[in-house]
Structure 1
């Protein structure tokens, strides 16, 4: 029995989904400034299959942009991942 066997499947699955989401969001940091602009978020949510990616980008900013600078920095990324996962985005 390994360590991964001790982790409940639902927790393991949630962690994997968030890791996939993180990869997708980071891929859309097109100017490599370690921040995601509203436009970069819109493109990421479009890839994730959002029906209204602009809406999801705005709501993601609202929920995750703790310092209100209009973009998601890497310190705020976990908040964005929580938002995306909560709304059914899995990265799969």
Structure 2
């Protein structure tokens, strides 16, 4: 099922951590407050990032510390922010 997202994000745009989290929440299709690997893959696909599937797998391996296959804690979300800054070259800063 294809869903159009209201928020189209330019990966080169500068944003706050809160804006990044709000954007990512738009991909939480089941509204459970967690980001699954499939939801993260869809988010990266929306950014038109090259090798999105591979980068999603890399992100989940480095961020999902409890191996639940979801990003489900504040510490994991902070790790995802750092991953996006370093590996996806997103400009995310503290507000």
TM > 0.5: yes
* Structure 1 residues not aligned, in runs of 5+: 1-13
Residue aligning to 1:45:
44
Shift of residue 74, structure 1, vs aligned partner: 3.7
Q: Could you say what the CA RMSD is over the residues aligned between the two structures, in angstroms?
A: 2.2
Quote the Cα distance in structure 1 between the aligned partners of 2:82 and 2:72. 15
Residue aligning to 2:19:
20
Larger Rg: 1
Relative contact order higher in (CA < 8 Å, ≥ 6 apart): 2
Compute the TM-score of the two structures, normalised by the length of structure 2: 0.70
Quote the Cα distance in structure 1 between the aligned partners of 2:27 and 2:73. 13
Residue aligning to 1:66:
65
Quote the Cα distance in structure 1 between the aligned partners of 2:67 and 2:54. 17
Quote the Cα distance in structure 1 between the aligned partners of 2:19 and 2:51. 21
Residue aligning to 1:86:
86
Could you give the per-residue CA deviations for residues 45-92 of structure 1, whole angstroms, max 9, x where no partner exists? Answer: 11122112111111111111111111111421111111011120248x
Structure 1 position 35 matched with structure 2 position 34: yes
Q: Where does structure 1 differ by over 4 angstroms across 4 or more consecutive aligned residues?
A: none
Larger helix proportion of the pair: 1
Cα pair 1:18 1:90 within 8 Å, conserved: no
